[in-house]
Amino acid sequence: MGYTALPTKNPGDILTSALWNTYLQGNADSGFMRMLADTTLGGAAAQIDFASIPATFAHLMLILYPRGDAAAVSTGLIARFNGDAGANYDWQLMQGQAAVASAAEGIAATGIFSTAVPAASAVGNAFGIYEMLIPHYTNTASFKGFTGRASSKTTNASGGITVQGWSGFWRNVAALNRITLSLASGNFAAGSRATLYGLPA
Amino acid sequence: MSDRYTLVVDLAGEEPLEVMLPLADDEMAIGMPRVDEPADGEASIGAPGADL
């Protein structure tokens, strides 16, 4: 599967079911980059769980706009695949905050972790900004993982903006069919938004 | 069961189906890492190599 080039149509040509299925349905299912799911929380939720992700695309992209409701300036984001909460993940991140650079890792962790989610004690109306790219998610020969960027704003003062580059790997070769996002403490607050895209070959 | 919820976005059908489900206690905070809040002017993302 993948992109099917669209033929030139002439006046009077009829859009048959075969043409529809090949050039419209087929390309929408796997040939074009498209949104698979988009949700904005109307109330607090402990997890955002994308289940039964279709296996028709080459890659996935996830964009997240989170805020937490825990009584803290910020909290951590945890991503897990296929419902696995075992110690089967490894992650690495590097961070810039004001003029300070730092880094951290997790080995044999129970999820892929980042810390750029503003929470209840952060300045009002500030949300985190996340993008995650998950390549080759349906292959069954090698580990799955992602790389991404994250940013948060927690105060209006110097050091109030955090920027992170991060990546993580799941020690499993299974095709990825589910992504579960949760926070280290508290819930995702209302207004948090998550959008999952399928990317074609 | 807790009073926390999971927003499940099920993509099995033609249209994504969103369902809010109660979160079972054993699904909560399994091995969650401790995140140390940075002091003023200090960047901290927890001890490097923190055991997640």
- pLDDT tens across B10-37, in order? 999 888 899 999 887 555 444 344 334 4
> Is residue A46 left, alpha or beta, with left meaning phi > 0 and alpha meaning psi from -120 to 50?
alpha
Give the nearest chain A residue to B8 (CA atoms): A49
Q: Do A52 and B27 touch (CB under 8 A)?
A: no
pLDDT of residue B43: 42
Q: Are A128 and A64 in contact (CB under 8 A)?
A: yes
Identify the segments of chain A with pLDDT beneath 70. 1
Q: Do A48 and B7 touch (CB under 8 A)?
A: yes
**Whole-complex ipTM:** 0.86
Helix (H, G, I), strand (E, B) or coil at A138: coil
pLDDT at A2: 82
Chain B, nearest residue to A177 by Cα: B11
* Residue-level pLDDT at B13: 87
Helices (H) and strands (E) in chain A, counts: 2, 12
What pLDDT is attached to residue B27? 52
Closest CB to A46: pick one of B6, B42, B46: B6
* pLDDT score recorded for residue B34: 38
Q: Are A148 and A133 in contact (CB under 8 A)?
A: yes
User: For A191, what's the count of Cα atoms within 13 Å in the CB-facing half-sphere?
Assistant: 13
Per-residue confidence (pLDDT) for residue A85, from 0 to 100: 96
Residue B26's pLDDT is what?
Answer: 53
Find the DSSP H helices in chain A. 17-19, 26
Among chain B residues, the shortest Cα distance to A121 is held by B37
A170-186 b/e with 16+ CB inside 10 Å = b?
bebeeebbbbbbbbbbb
Count Cβ–Cβ pairs < 8 Å, chain A vs chain B.
128
Give CA angle at A119 (A113, A122), nearest 5°: 125
- CA–CA separation, A193 and A129 (whole Å): 10
* Residue type (1 letter), B33: P
CA distances from A155 to A15, A97, A121 (A): 56, 12, 9
Beta carbons of B9 and A105 less than 8 Å apart: no
CA dist., res. A85 & res. B52, Å (int): 11
Answer whether B37 sits within 8 Å of A54, measured CB to CB.
no
Position B29 scores a pLDDT of 43
